[in-house]
């Protein structure tokens, strides 16, 4: 305890004492549960050790955070997060007879629901869920469930038999001595929801036999007419006597009042309609937004008045434009050299970009999503019959209806876009062809809509291919949907799917990053291994092997329908950092910052001297001493970023793909950035013939 100062005792229980303490290093308040293990019997010790085991497995914003444990004075000390708002039980008691508004009931309930989903995803039963074990932050707006002392870690989808838990929250099957599984936690959660709505317990009696009889009969007083019929039905379904007829957590999340509460918790983009109607794409737009000619326009003035903090004086004492915090360039599809795209405001800082066949999108440092649209074409040639390249001009706007949502990542497919919030919520919009939006249908959506099937998961990365999508969660789970031919979804079939489907990744690999291509997918595992699925045409997945090197007889794969480890030379021996896939070739960057390419070399897009028929991967011939940190592949070209900020391109030069005045194909050369201050590349994206590049200026000392 030399690292902590004890402040006071905040609780005593059957297994020990709970202290409020202050950590000396940062003055942070923590809770330390002191459990005298030497005085315990075997079962009590196991319960204490189990709590440490369970807490260390869980990591969720609605679960009390576990910091560390240590032994001192023959006692086990468990250090965990301090919730200043007390317990939900205390909060309910303080209400007296003043019922909570339904909105607050659901806000507290859905946070508990999300926490329990995380617990169950780890194959853990809480087994003692009650309002006394649900804690609140200081403002009593955030729920934190705790007390995992008697939780059960299931080795499989088995059932637990031990009679544990608080009597008022025990399920009927437990009263009968029957085995139970996660549905008993659903019963307890239903009791908690009832308590929130009625300010009293669902099942209470003067003695234990009478309580058991009440539970076995499932009799409890109805909640107030103050609440909706939907809330009443939800409670009844969760407190069904038959555990098989109780809803699963995913089914509860699918209830529209729960989805609405989840939306209110994470975003303000609008409510899901009560009836099963097709929602008009623009019905959720805020006031002042109108539909004109197929485009969204804001009624607010496009001009932006800078604040006093944005005013900068030039050398003569006059006003000058503040320096840009970032720049975004595009080229290709007829744009022969990099064009700087406009930003909505001068202080906008773009940290990540993505391009599809037609879309260009970026994420700002403060979590806004920018969309660039080609608004018109300029042509200064006035002589009759004269010809000059027409260069489109671009306009920038923020994604409509995004207020209150913090975006941290965006990925563009063909005519559709997926964006990820900082809370792991995935939203999609655009064309619903091939089911790429993941909403269970093929409807187009103009305004970003949450992928409801993934609401119970914390998504950390998403990648859009031409017509399919793959997402990874914080627990390394992988989900895929969209077009399925060639096996690009990794689902061991060629069926298309319009909603996320779990993908099996072979053991012992765990997914870290993923990249979707035109008809295939690549996944980098946590150990740096490469796994692939889909079409291997031209060996763009690197799967081909040589059975007999001396005879040079290749073993070729046309396509694979599940994620398959790449073991061919040299890819099987490399520790891979990131990947990129073009139409007919692919590239990887290793942990040693070397770039290897493979697939078709018809236009020199591989960047090394190999014939078009040689299907073996090779290292890119970059200038001596150059280290590659990022790579992106287009249809017939490649763009790579050097560790010192260099931007290289090679491959087919037609229609400005290489972004340089020297349009000599095949040669690895620097992209032209004229009259630009030294910069660092933050993100690069290629799709078909397009390239989108995000940069930030270097400090003056770095640019010398």
pLDDT, one tens digit per residue, over 543-584 is 998 544 444 566 789 999 999 999 998 999 999 999 999 999
- Separation of CA 594 from chain center: 28
Taking CA atoms, 248 is separated from 241, 245, 631, in Å, by 14, 9, 43
The pTM for the full model equals 0.60
Task: Extract the tokens encoding 546.
Answer: 């040589």
Asked if residue 248 lies in contact with residue 94, where contact means CB atoms within 8 angstroms, the answer is: no
Q: Locate the domains of the chain by residue range.
A: 4-81, 88-266
3-state secondary structure of 313: strand
Q: Which residue has the higher pLDDT, 123 or 496?
A: 496
Q: What distance in Å separates the CA atoms of residue 94 and residue 91, rounded to the nearest whole number?
A: 5
Asked if residue 116 lies in contact with residue 126, where contact means CB atoms within 8 angstroms, the answer is: yes
Q: What distance in Å separates the CA atoms of residue 281 and residue 297, rounded to the nearest whole number?
A: 14
Asked if residue 556 lies in contact with residue 617, where contact means CB atoms within 8 angstroms, the answer is: no
Contacts of 511 (CB under 8 A, 6+ apart): 472, 476, 477, 478, 505, 523, 524, 525, 526
Task: Extract the tokens encoding 381.
Answer: 């040639």
**Confidence class for position 171, pLDDT limits 50, 70, 90:** confident
Give the number of C-alpha atoms closer than 13 A to the C-alpha of residue 466, restricted to the C-beta side: 15
- Label residue 353 exposed, middle or buried (CB < 10 Å: 0-12, 13-18, 19+): buried
* Helical residues (DSSP H) of 58-143, grouped into ranges: 88-95, 102-121
Please name the residue that has the structure tokens 């080609």: 374
- Give the single-character DSSP code of 452: G
The number of residues making up the chain comes to 704
C-alpha angle 423/425/428, rounded to 5°? 145
Angle between helices 102-121 and 182-198 (to 10 degrees): 160
3-state secondary structure of 265: helix
Catalytic residue among 128, 147, 347, 414: 128
C-alpha angle 450/692/332, rounded to 5°? 125
**Helix H or strand E segment including 369:** strand 369-378
Taking CA atoms, 237 is separated from 130, 193, 249, 334, in Å, by 18, 12, 12, 59
- Average pLDDT of every residue of the chain: 82
pLDDT in tens, 333-385: 889 889 999 998 878 899 999 999 889 999 999 899 999 998 755 444 444 44
Predicted confidence at residue 554, as pLDDT, reads 66
Q: What distance in Å separates the CA atoms of residue 698 and residue 696, rounded to the nearest whole number?
A: 7
pLDDT surpasses 90 at 110? yes
Q: Are strands 553-555 and 585-590 parallel, antiparallel or unpaired?
A: unpaired
> Which of 160-169, 219-228, 577-586 has the highest average model confidence (pLDDT)?
577-586
pLDDT surpasses 60 at 259? yes
Query: N- to C-terminal Cα distance for the chain?
Result: 51
Asked if residue 538 lies in contact with residue 502, where contact means CB atoms within 8 angstroms, the answer is: no
Asked if residue 675 lies in contact with residue 628, where contact means CB atoms within 8 angstroms, the answer is: no
**Confidence class for position 500, pLDDT limits 50, 70, 90:** very high
Q: What distance in Å separates the CA atoms of residue 661 and residue 57, rounded to the nearest whole number?
A: 55
**Confidence class for position 506, pLDDT limits 50, 70, 90:** very high
pLDDT in tens, 613-629: 667 899 998 888 899 99
Q: What is the mean pLDDT of residues 427-450?
A: 91
Predicted confidence at residue 401, as pLDDT, reads 61
- Separation of CA 491 from chain center: 21
> Which residues, listed in sequence order, are joined to residue 475 by a DSSP beta bridge?
none
Beta strand spans in 324-364 (E): 327-332, 335-340, 350-355, 360-364
pLDDT surpasses 80 at 150? no
- Give the single-character DSSP code of 169: G
**Confidence class for position 314, pLDDT limits 50, 70, 90:** very low
Q: Are strands 416-421 and 407-412 parallel, antiparallel or unpaired?
A: antiparallel
Q: What is the mean pLDDT of residues 96-104?
A: 92
pLDDT surpasses 50 at 159? no
Q: Which of 198, 58, 142, 117 is nearest to 134 (CA)?
A: 142
Phi (first) and psi of residue 481, to 5 degrees: -160, 170
Burial 26-56 (b: 16+ CB within 10 A, else e): eeeebbbbbbeeeebeeebbebbebbbebbe
> Which residues, listed in sequence order, are joined to residue 628 by a DSSP beta bridge?
642
C-alpha angle 262/267/272, rounded to 5°? 55
**Confidence class for position 157, pLDDT limits 50, 70, 90:** very low
Q: What is the mean pLDDT of residues 6-10?
A: 89
Residue-wise DSSP of 593-619: S-EEEEE--TTSTT-SS--TT----EE
Q: What distance in Å separates the CA atoms of residue 557 and residue 617, rounded to the nearest whole number?
A: 15
Residue-wise DSSP of 403-431: TT--EEEEEE-SSEEEEEETTS-EEEEE-
Q: Which residue has the higher pLDDT, 391 or 669?
A: 669
Contacts of 480 (CB under 8 A, 6+ apart): 468, 469, 470, 471, 489, 490, 491, 497, 500, 501, 503, 521
Question: How many C-beta atoms surround the C-beta of residue 156 within 10 A?
Answer: 6
Contacts of 287 (CB under 8 A, 6+ apart): none
Q: What distance in Å separates the CA atoms of residue 666 and residue 648, rounded to the nearest whole number?
A: 12
Task: For the chain, give the percent of residues with pLDDT over 70.
Answer: 80
Q: What distance in Å separates the CA atoms of residue 600 and residue 39, rounded to the nearest whole number?
A: 70
Please name the residue that has the structure tokens 């940062």: 26
Predicted confidence at residue 146, as pLDDT, reads 81
pLDDT surpasses 60 at 685? yes
Q: What distance in Å separates the CA atoms of residue 340 and residue 676, rounded to the nearest whole number?
A: 10
> Which of 4-13, 73-82, 251-260, 686-695 has the highest average model confidence (pLDDT)?
686-695
Q: Does the annotation count 128 as an active-site position? A: yes
- Give the single-character DSSP code of 621: -
Low-confidence winner among 284-298, 353-367, 443-457 (lowest mean pLDDT): 284-298
Question: How many C-beta atoms surround the C-beta of residue 422 within 10 A?
Answer: 12
State whether CATH 3.30.200.20 applies to domain 4-81: yes
Q: Which CATH number fits domain 88-266: 1.10.510.10, 3.40.50.460, 3.40.190.10, 3.40.710.10?
A: 1.10.510.10
């Amino acid at each position: 305890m030399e690292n902590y100062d004890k402040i006071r005792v905040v609780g005593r229980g059957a297994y020990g004492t709970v202290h409020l303490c202050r950590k000396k290093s940062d003055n942070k308040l923590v809770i330390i549960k002191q459990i005298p293990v030497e005085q315990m019997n075997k079962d009590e010790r196991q319960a204490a050790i189990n709590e440490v085991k369970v807490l260390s497995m869980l990591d969720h914003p609605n679960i009390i955070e576990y910091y560390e444990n240590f032994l001192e004075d023959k006692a086990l000390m468990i250090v965990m997060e301090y919730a200043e708002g007390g317990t939900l039980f205390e909060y309910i008691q303080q209400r007296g007879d003043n019922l909570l508004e339904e909105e607050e009931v659901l806000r507290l309930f859905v946070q508990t629901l999300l926490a329990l989903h995380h617990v169950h995803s780890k194959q853990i039963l809480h087994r003692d869920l009650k309002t006394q074990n649900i804690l609140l932050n200081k403002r009593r707006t955030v729920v934190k469930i705790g007390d995992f002392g008697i939780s059960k870690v299931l080795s499989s989808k088995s059932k637990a038999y031990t009679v544990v838990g608080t009597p008022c929250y025990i399920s009927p099957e437990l009263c009968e001595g029957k085995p139970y599984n996660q549905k008993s936690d659903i019963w307890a959660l239903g009791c908690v929801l009832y308590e929130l709505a009625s300010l009293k317990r669902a099942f209470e009696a003067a003695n234990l036999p009478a309580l058991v009889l009440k539970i076995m009969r499932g009799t409890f007083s109805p909640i107030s007419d103050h609440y909706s019929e939907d809330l009443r039905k939800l409670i009844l379904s969760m407190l069904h006597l038959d555990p098989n007829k109780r809803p699963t957590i995913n089914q509860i999340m699918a209830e529209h009042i729960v989805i609405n509460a989840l939306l209110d918790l994470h975003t303000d983009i609008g409510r899901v309609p009560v009836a099963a109607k097709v929602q008009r794409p623009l019905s959720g737009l805020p006031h002042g937004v109108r539909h004109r000619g197929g485009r969204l326009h804001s009624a607010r003035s496009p001009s932006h008045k800078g604040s006093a903090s944005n005013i900068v004086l030039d050398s003569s004492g006059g006003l000058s434009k503040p320096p840009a915090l970032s720049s975004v360039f595009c080229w290709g599809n007829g744009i022969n050299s990099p064009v700087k795209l406009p930003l909505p405001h001068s202080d906008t800082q773009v940290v990540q970009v993505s391009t599809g066949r037609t879309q260009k999108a970026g994420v700002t440092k403060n979590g806004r999503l920018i969309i660039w649209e080609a608004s018109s074409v300029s042509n200064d040639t006035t002589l009759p019959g004269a010809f000059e390249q027409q260069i489109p001009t671009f306009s920038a706007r923020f994604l409509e209806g995004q207020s209150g949502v913090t975006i941290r990542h965006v990925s563009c497919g063909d005519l559709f876009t997926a964006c990820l919030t900082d809370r792991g919520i995935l939203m999609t919009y655009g064309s619903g062809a091939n089911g790429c939006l993941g909403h269970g249908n093929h409807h187009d959506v103009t305004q970003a809509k949450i992928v409801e099937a993934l609401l119970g998961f914390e998504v950390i990365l998403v990648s859009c291919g031409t017509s399919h999508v793959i997402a990874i969660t914080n627990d390394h789970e992988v989900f895929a949907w969209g077009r399925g031919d060639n096996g690009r979804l990794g689902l061991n079939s060629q069926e298309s799917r319009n909603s996320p489907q779990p993908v099996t990744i072979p053991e012992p690999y765990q997914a870290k990053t993923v990249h979707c291509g035109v008809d295939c997918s690549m996944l980098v595992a946590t150990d740096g291994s490469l796994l692939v699925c889909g079409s291997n045409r031209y060996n763009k997945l690197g799967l081909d092997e040589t059975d007999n090197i001396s005879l040079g007889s290749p073993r070729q794969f046309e396509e694979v329908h599940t994620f398959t480890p790449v073991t061919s030379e040299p890819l099987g021996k490399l520790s891979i950092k990131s990947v990129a896939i073009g139409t007919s070739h692919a590239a990887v960057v290793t942990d040693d910052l070397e770039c290897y390419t493979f697939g078709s070399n018809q236009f020199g897009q591989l960047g090394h001297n190999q014939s078009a028929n040689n299907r073996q991967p090779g290292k890119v011939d970059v200038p001596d001493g150059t280290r590659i940190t990022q790579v992106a592949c287009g249809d017939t070209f490649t763009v790579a970023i050097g560790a010192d900020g260099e931007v290289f391109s090679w491959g087919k030069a037609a229609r400005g793909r290489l972004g340089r005045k020297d349009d000599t194909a095949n040669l690895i050369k620097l992209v032209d950035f004229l009259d630009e201050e030294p910069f660092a590349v933050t993100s690069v994206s290629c799709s078909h013939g397009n390239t989108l590049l995000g940069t930030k200026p270097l400090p003056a000392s770095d640019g010398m």
